[in-house]
Structure 1
Amino acid sequence: MKTTIKKLELRDVGKSYGQHTVIPKVNLIVNEGEFVVFVGPSGCGKSTLLRMIAGLESISEGEIHLDNRCLNNVHPSLRQVAMVFQSYALYPHLSVEKNMAFPLKMAGESRALVNKKVRETAENLQLTHLLSRLPSELSGGQRQRVAIGRAIVRDPALFLFDEPLSNLDAKLRGEMRVYLKQLHQKLKATMIYVTHDQVEAMTLADRIVVLNQGRIEQVGSPETLYQQPANKFVASFIGSPVMNFLNKQTAEQIKFPLLLSNNVAFLGIRPNQVIVDPLSPDVLMPISVVEPLGHARLYYGQLHGVPFLVESKELYSVGGSLPLNLGRSVIHYFDENEVRIDNAVLGGVDAA
């Protein structure tokens, strides 16, 4: 059995500004060849943590190790880390070829090696026909590929991406997500990617790190975070549309059909996992808004005053009622501290 190689390790890494702590002690291992995504709401510390790894932001405590080498006192230019920013950061007066060659020339590489690496990278990124153009003559997606190419030619030990697709329109973002996934598979490189978009996180990551106020809430595969969220915060952040939550009192008011443990304070139900059943409904939800999606419809309503969202292929209209069978829906259970309760703890209640 092949042993997994640790590429990056954060040991009790923290960041404070005076008395204000923005990142408490963080511990994380990123393995060789992994695509890890930091995700969380604005201000959760994900970009700060990325900049600390790159050396662009100092750390207040702890140690950062890359390939078993402590980086705490290593200058950013010597860390073997390449960072791709949201803003592209291309030199406007240089051609695509010269932009990509710049870091190699600054490192004193020979002209032959520079030309070889730039040509190979341009071919991989489908930029060969654009090498003579200036950044102003490129589309947003092409500029971002040049920025990625400039990172690739350095052959770094670690790639860092700080919300690189935020400036692109929805269509280009979708195309670039697929492209980045293919690039990772081709390069087999270790990558850390920061985004606030959970769709990007779910589609790109081998593992997702969910951050909240500088703390790691959960680390796991996209499937694990979706199916077994550690707490209510992760459950509410991962998945689109957002998960519905009912407190125990509301569940009792609608005569929720499943046995509820005394430890249960909240129920979580994803909109696409709610069963619409006109033959044996547990509750009728008055429909206030309908959003057609093409493949399905989003139905907005309330259950005893609590907003509730259902995604279904069934056809109902505003003003009507949606018959819901919650007993057959996929339910997540949370305690009063908003921590997920495992199925076994509930004594056999069918939690997802």
Structure 2
Amino acid sequence: MKLDTLELLGHSSESVLGSNDRLELLLTTAHILVIDDEPMNLTLITGMLHFAGYRSVTTLRDARELEGRLQSGHPDLVILDLHMPHRDGFDVITALQPWIVAEHLPVLVVSGDISADARRRALALGARDFLTKPFDLTEMTLRVRNQLETRLLYQDVRKQNRALRETVHGRTVELEETRIEMLERLAMAAEYRDDNTSRHTERVGAVSAHLAAALGLHPDEARLIRRASALHDVGKIGIPDALLRKPSRLTDDEMAVMRTHTTIGASILGGSHALLLQLAEVIAISHHERWDGMGYPRKTAGADTPLVGRIVAVADAFDAVTNDRPYRRALSLRDGIGEMAAHRGTQFDASVVDALLRINSTLDHHTI
């Protein structure tokens, strides 16, 4: 069985999110494929998965048989060794890329290769996570569940997109609201992986709305920006946990992967007729652009970057420096304001930084 069976059963992750029923459905419907040339490893991993309650687990010792196995059905998660005879894990990830891209198929690499090059290469090819051998069984179980939860949420969003294309005009507004709610939950899931408090998006939305008001935008526009900006990092759902929670600064290769969250987010949010999601798409693709043109992904400069993107860029960076991150401690609000002012006119739009200085006294991350 596959996770799509949830739809046939009349269930969605929305209706059972956080419930025991949802976990039971996940355990009974998710299909996991384990690829490793070592029988002992296959026995260990499948035993751990069965002990955790997963009913549908299949194994493959010879990776050359992958395509034939896929003809009988696609898995919901692939657990993959890297170094195997005849066909290595890198080639397997490459072969799986059509499903990784089109179906958000998660690949969890489990390898004895601890080299940084192996990790970078696997993640760059499309693996969602990387675990080194010997591994902790509890950690393995949690990572497997996290990848399946993410895939389930992603499939719900795809289902909403499909329903939107097929529905009559009279139901468009209702379905868009449902899609917005699913995207907001997807954004919360992505944020929880990067911020244990899951309040980063909430704070960025509040500061963005204050900035919009200070810049003279209509209150309705400020409220819309507050809600849309909460989706700015939804693309991080496609970034491996190993990068999101890395306790040190990212390498250049890892940063290149991390930066794809902007285009992933815009892709997830795109194609909507709802003004909120259209605005959220613009924010997702533009909130890491810089005033001097040295940002990403499009390297737009000055006013070529939409105002909402420039607003959220300041709000996002301000929240980042004034809250703890895995690789550094938070600055005080006063020092955070100073940090923003130091990049006025280079990284950030001077008018937006000036607006931040004007609302300085109203900012309190405990009450936003």
Task: Give the TM-score taking structure 1 as reference length.
Answer: 0.31
| Greater RCO structure (CA 8 Å; 6+ sep) | 1
- Which is helix-richer, 1 or 2? 2
- Which is strand-richer, 1 or 2? 1
- Please identify the structure whose Cα radius of gyration is greater: 1
Task: Give the TM-score taking structure 2 as reference length.
Answer: 0.30
